[in-house]
């Protein structure tokens, strides 16, 4: 493309294209880009009759892309310039494309104003001679600048824009006329806004005009990243700056995506490491409290803001926290489920609200990490408790066998003692002291034999079927084994179990075990609250007939005025191995076994308590008049 100003000294000032030896191809357009005239050769080339072509908008003669290029050229022609050798791709009437090389000339009216332009088939075939002149070189350079992909802007030493090419127009959303004469800060806010001259002087001196990143501002107010290279041209005392600008929005976006992928990959690696180390700790043979404290330390570094992340693990009322710890409103948590029941919670807190690039405080991956760890903790607790249950059951079986063996071994010498006591009693008069001593020996030996008998009955595997039994007899057997312990602890025992209560169908030895467990728990609670004698150190055992769901039941109540039970522990009292006592005091199996026995008899155990005041256990069992399959309502 070659641009020429319309010089009045030029032979083209009459706006008539030079003649050719053959019929020329000429199209004439108005300022509104409608065809106002055409040569027969032009109408034939485009496939139209001359009358059809007259009045057609130029837009209909081009494809959309070609029309944009045509408009760009004709804008210069309507400004008074001549365009030589422009190649245009016209669209014929039949839809085919035809290429025409044209020279374009502005058309002037009587008053000298431009009324349109003409496009004639070009007669120039050699552009080289034109490029030899300075003016042609300038026009050539201008054409290159205006078709450049990058934005090009020039402005003076005061920061006023002098020129902006079409790419820059599209880049910033302004037209040439909207920005020429305006401050450069309109489209490129500068760090030193008040002194552009100083800023660009310093920029050129320090960087030598190398490419650097700056911020651009579109007409809409949106800012975007640019790569800018700047150079200075001096014309006498006048200084002009030229900026070549490249929009790097897409490049920056790709780089940010790449950086984000790397960050995500690194974070996934940290999360996997956390899961692996936590899993290794939970599969080890370490004490669970040490395992949980280690898990708490591992979680914080796996979160997107590890410097302000704090973790808390709660299980069965016990807490394990990272140090230092603080609970805040910015929390993420997951329940710890063991055997289908919530036993605790794993939580992460941020010390301050800090949102990521997507506006969220916690990521989906972090939620998944917490849920996975909480699930692993629940599985580990369940597995450890199942293993402990097997071990404890084995121990109990061994203890039962040992108790049976010891009981038989005690019975043999007891029989000898009782026989000797009978012989001694027969040797003395009944009113003598010797006879009284022998009788006392016989009585104490019989008491030992009763205790051993009850111990054997309590320890052996029960193979009997349910049979009617009196509640008073069951309680008396248990008290015969525990009365000395009660007296030694200075506990006042209150028993109200009438002998005329309806019988219960049961395995007596199993119910004795239930009553024994309840009494032992009561004694420990009383001894914990009262270290010595106290008038309130009371253990009450009572039984009465009641009705549940329309069926008759016997309710046995064991109540103590000890330390009570915390509300958070009541719902877990009957879980295997759950205990609030030390390892040397309880196994956590007593109430679990008792609950299973009572349910097997069609009954239920319920508990009410007030911490620091009392604990009251009710054992409800169907009485003998109840239907065999009748069970207590929950």
Q: Are strands 238-247 and 223-235 parallel, antiparallel or unpaired?
A: antiparallel
Cis amide bond preceding 324, omega within 30: yes
Q: Which two tokens stand for residue 274?
A: 């956390």
| Percentages (nearest 5) of helix, strand, coil residues in the chain | 45, 25, 30
* Residue 461: DSSP 8-state: P
Question: What span, in angstroms and rounded, lies between the C-alpha atoms of 407 and 451?
Answer: 9
Distance of CA 340 to the CA centre of its chain: 23
Question: What span, in angstroms and rounded, lies between the C-alpha atoms of 77 and 58?
Answer: 15
Would the pTM of this model clear 0.75, i.e. be above it? no
Question: What span, in angstroms and rounded, lies between the C-alpha atoms of 556 and 519?
Answer: 12
Question: What span, in angstroms and rounded, lies between the C-alpha atoms of 533 and 527?
Answer: 10
Secondary structure (H, E, C), 482-518: HHHHHHHCCCEEEEECCCCCCCEEECHHHHHHHHHHH
Q: What is the mean pLDDT of each run of 10 residues along the chain (634 residues)?
A: 37 38 77 89 89 89 84 86 85 88 84 85 55 57 81 86 91 92 85 54 58 87 89 77 88 83 73 77 78 86 86 89 87 89 90 79 84 89 80 67 72 84 85 86 82 64 69 89 85 92 87 88 88 88 91 93 82 69 56 82 90 90 65 40
Q: Scanning the structure block, which residue is given the tokens 């179990």?
A: 497
Which residues pair with residue 618 across a beta bridge? 557, 606
Domain boundaries along the sequence of the chain? 2-144, 149-247, 278-378, 466-622
Question: What span, in angstroms and rounded, lies between the C-alpha atoms of 530 and 308?
Answer: 46
Residue 341 burial (CB count, 10 A):
12
The SS3 of residue 545 is strand
Q: Which two tokens stand for residue 263?
A: 């960050």
The SS3 of residue 165 is coil
Q: Scanning the structure block, which residue is given the tokens 């009585």?
A: 443
Rounded to 5°, the CA angle 8-12-18 comes to: 165
Q: Which two tokens stand for residue 381?
A: 């607790």
Q: Scanning the structure block, which residue is given the tokens 């349109």?
A: 116
- 266 to 261, 272, 304: CA distances (angstroms): 8, 10, 11
> In the CATH hierarchy, which fold is given to the domain comprising 2-144?
Beta-Lactamase (3.30.450)
DSSP 344-367: EEEEEEESS----TTS-SS-HHHH
- 33 to 36, 75, 555: CA distances (angstroms): 9, 10, 106
Q: Are strands 309-315 and 341-350 parallel, antiparallel or unpaired?
A: antiparallel
Q: Scanning the structure block, which residue is given the tokens 């069965």?
A: 316
* Residue 429: DSSP 8-state: -
Question: What span, in angstroms and rounded, lies between the C-alpha atoms of 437 and 424?
Answer: 9
Sign of the CA dihedral running 390, 393, 395, 401: negative
Question: What span, in angstroms and rounded, lies between the C-alpha atoms of 559 and 334?
Answer: 38
**Farthest CA pair distance, the chain:** 172
Is the domain spanning 149-247 CATH 3.30.450.20? The answer is yes
Q: Which two tokens stand for residue 600?
A: 């097997």
Q: Per CATH, the architecture of 466-622 is what? A: 2-Layer Sandwich (3.30)
The SS3 of residue 630 is coil
pLDDT of res. 553: 94
Question: What span, in angstroms and rounded, lies between the C-alpha atoms of 288 and 336?
Answer: 14
Q: Which two tokens stand for residue 595?
A: 């609950």
**Is-same-fold flag (149-247; 466-622)?**
no
Residue 564 φ/ψ, nearest 5 degrees: 75, 180
* Residue 186: DSSP 8-state: G
Question: What span, in angstroms and rounded, lies between the C-alpha atoms of 434 and 589?
Answer: 49
Q: Scanning the structure block, which residue is given the tokens 């920005």?
A: 179
Sign of the CA dihedral running 60, 64, 67, 71: positive
* 409 contact partners, CB below 8 Å, separation of at least 6: none
Question: What span, in angstroms and rounded, lies between the C-alpha atoms of 436 and 505?
Answer: 42
Residue 228 φ/ψ, nearest 5 degrees: -125, 130
Q: Scanning the structure block, which residue is given the tokens 């200084």?
A: 239
């Amino acid at each position: 493309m070659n641009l020429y100003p319309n010089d009045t000294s030029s032979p083209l000032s009459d706006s008539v294209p030079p003649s050719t030896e053959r019929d020329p191809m000429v199209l004439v357009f108005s300022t509104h880009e409608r065809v106002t005239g055409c040569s027969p050769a032009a109408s034939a080339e485009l496939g139209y009759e001359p009358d059809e072509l007259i009045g057609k908008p130029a837009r209909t003669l081009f494809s959309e892309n070609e029309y944009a290029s045509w408009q760009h050229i004709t804008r210069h022609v309507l400004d008074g310039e001549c365009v030589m050798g422009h190649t245009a791709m016209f669209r014929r009437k039949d839809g085919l494309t035809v290429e025409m090389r044209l020279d374009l000339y502005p058309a002037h009216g009587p008053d000298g104003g431009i009324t349109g332009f003409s496009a004639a088939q070009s007669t120039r075939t050699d552009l080289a001679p034109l490029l030899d002149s300075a003016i042609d070189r300038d026009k050539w350079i201008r054409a290159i600048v205006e078709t450049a992909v990058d934005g090009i802007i020039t402005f003076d030493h005061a920061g006023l824009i002098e020129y902006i090419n079409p790419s820059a127009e599209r880049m910033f959303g302004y037209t040439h006329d909207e920005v020429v004469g305006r401050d450069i800060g309109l489209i490129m806010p500068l760090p030193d806004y008040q002194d552009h001259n100083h800023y660009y002087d310093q920029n050129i001196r320090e960087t030598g005009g190398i490419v650097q990143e700056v911020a651009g501002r579109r007409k809409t107010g949106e800012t975007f990243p640019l790569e800018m290279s700047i150079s200075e041209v001096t014309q006498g005392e006048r200084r002009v700056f030229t900026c070549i600008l490249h929009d790097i929005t897409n490049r920056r976006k790709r780089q940010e995506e790449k950086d984000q992928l790397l960050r995500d990959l690194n974070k996934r690696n940290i999360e996997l490491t956390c899961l692996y180390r936590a899993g290794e700790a939970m599969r080890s043979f370490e004490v669970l409290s040490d395992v949980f404290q280690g898990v708490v330390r591992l979680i914080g570094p796996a979160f997107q803001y590890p410097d302000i992340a704090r973790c808390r693990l709660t299980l069965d009322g016990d807490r394990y926290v990272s140090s230092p710890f603080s609970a805040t409103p910015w929390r993420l948590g997951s329940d710890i489920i063991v055997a289908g029941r919530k036993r605790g919670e794993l939580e992460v807190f941020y010390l301050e609200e800090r949102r990521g690039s997507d506006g969220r405080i916690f990521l989906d991956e972090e939620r998944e990490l917490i849920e996975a760890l909480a699930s692993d903790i629940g599985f580990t607790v369940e597995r450890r408790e199942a293993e402990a249950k097997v071990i404890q059951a084995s121990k109990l079986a061994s203890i039962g066998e040992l108790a049976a063996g010891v009981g038989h071994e005690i019975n043999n010498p007891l029989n000898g003692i009782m026989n000797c006591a009978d012989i001694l009693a027969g040797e003395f008069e009944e009113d003598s002291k010797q006879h009284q001593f022998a009788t006392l020996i016989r009585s104490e030996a019989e008491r030992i034999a009763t205790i051993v008998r009850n111990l054997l009955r309590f320890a052996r595997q029960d193979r009997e079927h349910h049979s009617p039994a009196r509640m008073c007899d069951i309680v008396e057997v248990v008290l015969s084994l525990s009365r000395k312990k009660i007296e030694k602890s200075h506990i006042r025992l209150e028993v109200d179990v009438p002998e005329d209560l309806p019988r219960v169908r049961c395995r007596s030895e199993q119910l004795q075990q239930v009553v024994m467990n309840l009494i032992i728990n009561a004694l420990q609670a009383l001894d914990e609250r009262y270290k010595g004698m106290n008038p309130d150190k009371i253990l009450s055992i009572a039984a009465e007939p009641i009705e549940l769901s329309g069926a008759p039941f016997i309710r046995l109540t064991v109540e103590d005025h000890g330390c009570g039970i915390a509300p958070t522990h009541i719902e877990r009292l009957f879980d295997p191995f759950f205990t609030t006592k030390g390892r040397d005091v309880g196994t956590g199996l007593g109430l679990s076994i008792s609950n299973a026995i009572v349910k097997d008899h069609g009954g239920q155990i319920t508990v009410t308590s007030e911490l620091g005041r009392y604990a009251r256990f009710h054992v409800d069992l169907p009485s003998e008049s109840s239907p065999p399959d009748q069970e207590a309502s929950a």
